[in-house]
Amino acid sequence: MCGRYVVTKAVTDLLPDLLGGLDGLPDDYNVAPTALVPVVRARHGERVLAEVKWGFLPSYAKDEKQRPQPINARLETVATSGMFKRAFARSRCVVPALGYYEWVVTPTGKQPHFIHAPGAGLAMAGVLSAWSDPARDRDDPERWSISMAIITRAAHVAPGEVHDRMPACLSPRAGTGGCRRTRRLPTSWTCSRTSRSRSLGRSSTTRSAGTRTASGTTAPA
């Protein structure tokens, strides 16, 4: 997955089970790494919309400039990776989006593709990290920095035409396809490591020339 995605106010209506009753989303058509982004997380047993930094700073980091600060975590290894396994077990989140961008190299330069699910929003799986600044007092509310990484998986259907990775997108249809309910995510939207999400089964890649659907046909933009 490339490091750009889109979030708009309209996503609230497209993901009512996830975002209903929460504060509205911003309009940002170029969400980039290091930006503060909205995520849905569990806080004191409640589902809340929080603003966190995109770029995972592990809790054991010596300072906030430590690298790497990955924007993605691979689904295949997120539960066993030394950097992510604690967050995957205890601090998951959902990253709402309208779609995301990928670029393909062509003879005339890089061609952007906007990958989305027509008529739907994306509920991208993520992991959170809480880093404590040792230079601040323990009772300083600014002491904590919350960051996240988006979980990615092998691409399929239309997204696979432009990149070999895609976000692991969650579906409210818990109980099928390896998905299960859990209290570790802020809603019933969750999926086991081995499940295959169908959230992007109808995805398309939008280009200036039109829209490429999963079947490969092209319609005017």
Is 2 noted as a catalytic residue in this protein?
A: yes
Token readout for 170 is: 């969650």
HSE toward the beta carbon, residue 85, CA cutoff 13 A: 5
At CB < 8 A and 24+ separation, what contacts does 18-27 make? 18/94, 18/96, 18/123, 18/172, 18/187, 18/189, 19/49, 19/96, 22/47, 22/48, 22/49, 23/49, 25/49, 25/96
**Residue written as tokens 């809480």?**
130
CA angle 162, 165, 171 (to 5 degrees): 110
Catalytic choice (64, 93, 102, 191): 102
Residues acting as catalytic residues: 2, 102
